[in-house]
Structure 1
Amino acid sequence: MGHSQADKAASRERVLRVAARKVRAEGVNRPGVADLMKEAGLTHGGFYKHFASRDDLIAQASAVALAEGSAKMERAARKNEQDPRAGLVGAYLAPQHRDAPATGCALVTLGAAAGRGDQHFKEAYEKQVRAYLDLIAGLGDDSEQARAEAMLTLSALVGATLMARAVADPHLSDELLKTVAGRLGRHASGAPSDAA
């Protein structure tokens, strides 16, 4: 007895969601097809009904993982009505975001892979970078300066989160998040920096 088209689409979506979570948490090289299918509640044999290859699945899952971040960033910005940029920075550089890569921003996890990836992967990554830049720039005025500030902010957010996840010392990890958040706040407000 065959599955209906709706069942097939639901199964495919379930595999994509599992794979998106895995590529955010582990990168693109680790998730194996058998493990992904098992976690999605499906058999390994059904994989090729949904995807042409493992590379096809990982590419699609990476695109899903990247796209899911936009809604989260918009929600974070809206939480602080007085200063949406501070809300976004605070949420992005929170220990909770650092500690949950499977549900966090895929720009952090997938940056190196996108840099080495094919054109489609680079385009999916670029699409999210552009979406985040537009979001961040839109939180200020609509100027060339706002675009430059958005690039600085996004680079600092992604870089600080990446390093905070990568270092072994938990105190240094916390310090990276706190310091970058503080400096971004000062920079946005125009307060003088005491850095040389």
Structure 2
Amino acid sequence: MPGHASVAEIMQEAGLTHGGFYKHFASREDLIAQAATAALSEGSAQIEDLAGMSEEDRRTGLIDTYLSREHRDSPGTGCALVTLGAAAGRGDDSLKEAYEKRVRGYLTRFGGDGSEESRAEAMLTLSALVGATLLARAVADPALSDELLETVARQLEQR
């Protein structure tokens, strides 16, 4: 993880003692996994708001919400799949499992009729949403950032 903060640094920032950490967490990795699980769960609650819509409206709503400037500009409250992707790739199994649970949840939620074709479409859509958001946040040029969001949204909506 960026910075690799020590347990002592984490506890100092939280205003707690180093010894109190182990009353709540088995290790630094346990803290990271629990924090990631909480962040990933928050994102799923936002997606649940789309659940009552028709499949087509749900997909369009997801694309419009996910690839919005608001989502791009709010990494602290946006989808944790974007924020935690690289960390999950380098993390331990508990972090990877928490991340995978959310990925599977999105794939199930947007997998349509459950057919192989629908699942493939869900995988493509999720990958494009996460990738476009990550790229749009990472580039310095605001025009390119907007273009990434708009182009990927348009391409997904045309599918």
Q: TM-score with structure 2 length normalisation? A: 0.85
1:142-162 CA-partner distances (Å, limit 9, x unpaired): 422111110010000000000
Cα separation, 2, equivalents of 1:144 and 1:83: 21
Give ranges in structure 2 of 5+ residues lacking alignment.
none
Distance in 1 of aligned mates of 2:148 and 2:44: 23
Structure 2 Cα separation of the partners of residues 156 and 145 of structure 1: 16
* Pick aligned residue for 1:99 from 70, 73, 76: 73
Aligned-residue sequence identity (percent) comes to 64
CA distance in 1, matches of 2:93, 2:101: 12
Counterpart in 1 of 2:90? 116
Q: Label 1:163 to 1:84 Cα distance change in 2 as closer, same or farther (>3 A).
A: same
**What amino acid does structure 1 have at the position aligned with 2:28?**
R
Q: State the shift of 1:114 in Å.
A: 1.5
Gaps of 5+ in 1: 1-27, 188-196
Larger radius of gyration: 1
Instruction: Report the Cα distance in structure 2 between the residues aligned to 1:36 and 1:90, rounded to whole angstroms.
Output: 36
How many residue pairs are counted as aligned between the two chains? 156
Is residue 2:59 matched to residue 1:89? no
Partner of 1:128: 102
What is the CA–CA distance in structure 2 between the aligned matches of 1:96 and 1:44, rounded to whole Å?
37
Which residue of the partner structure matches residue 29 of structure 1?
2
Alignment of 1:1-196 (within 5 A): 28-30=1-3, 32=5, 33=7, 37=11, 42-45=15-18, 46-75=20-49, 77-78=50-51, 83-137=57-111, 140-187=112-159
Runs of 4+ with deviation above 6 angstroms = none
Q: CA RMSD in A?
A: 2.3
